[in-house]
Amino acid sequence: MRRVLVTGGGSGIGRAIAHHFADEGDEVTVAGRRMSALEETRGSRQMTCRTVDVTDEASVAALFDNPYDVVVANAGGGVTGKVAQLSLADWNRVMAVNLTGVFLTFRAALQNMEEGGRLIAIASTASLQGGSNIGAYSASKHGVLGLVRSLAVEVAKTGITCNAVCPGFVDTDMAAAAVDGVMKRFDISRHKAEGMVVGGNPMKRMIRPEEVVSAVGFLASDGASSVNGHALSVSGGEI
Ligand code: NAP
């Protein structure tokens, strides 16, 4: 039985990851800002719910009063807009949650993580390529990969690994918000907007949360003990 922490576990990908580990019999803690969302994730499963703001150093540190074997830094958020029009506040907000949040989470995890531990960041295909309207998001997610690849080298001799999963558009609230944004920006139907959003994926469909879960499950497995500093694309061939 592993002790697993999933940040952003109150919805979407994080919820699916938490359910996977709980169903495997692991001891799961889900963390996020909204306790009600975390409790919804828990439902009738055995799970601990803890509030955290991953952008706040003390709040993150408090989560690690006990060690975890698997830490999934999944909490994140998006902002769209062309770089030329982006406000500094939006830039700072997305960097704080997507990049500083992962840094604070992994740094705190390392204070008491034992040999064989697993650090897994939910990054994005936007960690591996840029695109119009996603400058801040993509920069934050590229930053996550820089952190993961460097940390992987630093922990290599301890039996801990550090990796990233890079999904394309996944069928969650975040992707729904992206579709809404495209509908508004181009004044087009939902059907058309969905087509545009999944257009970069050669499979021409959203990734399912369970498909991201499988990648996380692999990286957390004993068999992945030599996979370190890797960015695992789950994108239907987009990358
Ligand atoms: P989501 O449903 O919006 O989940 C994001 C989660 O992060 C929420 O549960 C939210 O919970 C939590 N969160 C946000 N800010 C936080 C903060 N400051 N402190 C603690 N928790 C915070 O979206 P999702 O699609 O599942 O996204 C999960 C991760 O996958 C993100 O890192 C995202 O960038 C990445 N990703 C998503 C897609 C996609 O297409 N959906 C594709 C590639 C990568 P609270 O609001 O309760 O805090």
Could you read off the pLDDT of 90-148 as tens digits, one per residue? 999 999 999 999 999 999 999 999 999 999 999 999 999 999 999 999 999 999 999 99
Residues designated as active site: 137
Reported as a single tens digit per residue, the pLDDT across 163-212 is 999 999 999 998 898 899 889 889 999 999 999 989 999 999 999 999 99
For tokens 């990358």, the residue is: 239
* 31: β partners: 7, 50
First to last CA, the chain: 34
Could you give the CA distance from residue 86 to residue 79 in angstroms, rounded to a whole number? 9
Reported as a single tens digit per residue, the pLDDT across 150-169 is 999 999 999 999 999 999 99
Contacts of residue 41, Cβ cutoff 8 Å, sequence gap at least 6:
9, 10, 11, 14, 15, 18, 19, 30, 47, 49
Alpha carbon of 156 to ligand 1 centroid (Å)? 28
For tokens 């990851």, the residue is: 17
Closest residue to atom 31 of ligand 1, CA basis:
76
Alpha carbon of 217 to ligand 1 centroid (Å)? 18
Alpha carbon of 178 to ligand 1 centroid (Å)? 13
- Ligand 1 neighbours (beta carbon < 6 A): 7-8, 10-14, 32-34, 37, 52-55, 74-77, 97, 122, 124, 167, 169-170, 172-175
**Per mean pLDDT, which range of 78-82, 116-120, 209-213, 219-223 is the poorest?**
78-82
pLDDT at 18 over 90: yes
**Stretch 79-87: mean pLDDT:** 95
pLDDT at position 185: 86
Atom of ligand 1 nearest to the CA of 167: 43
Neighbours of 126 (CB within 10 A): 22
Closest residue to atom 42 of ligand 1, CA basis:
169
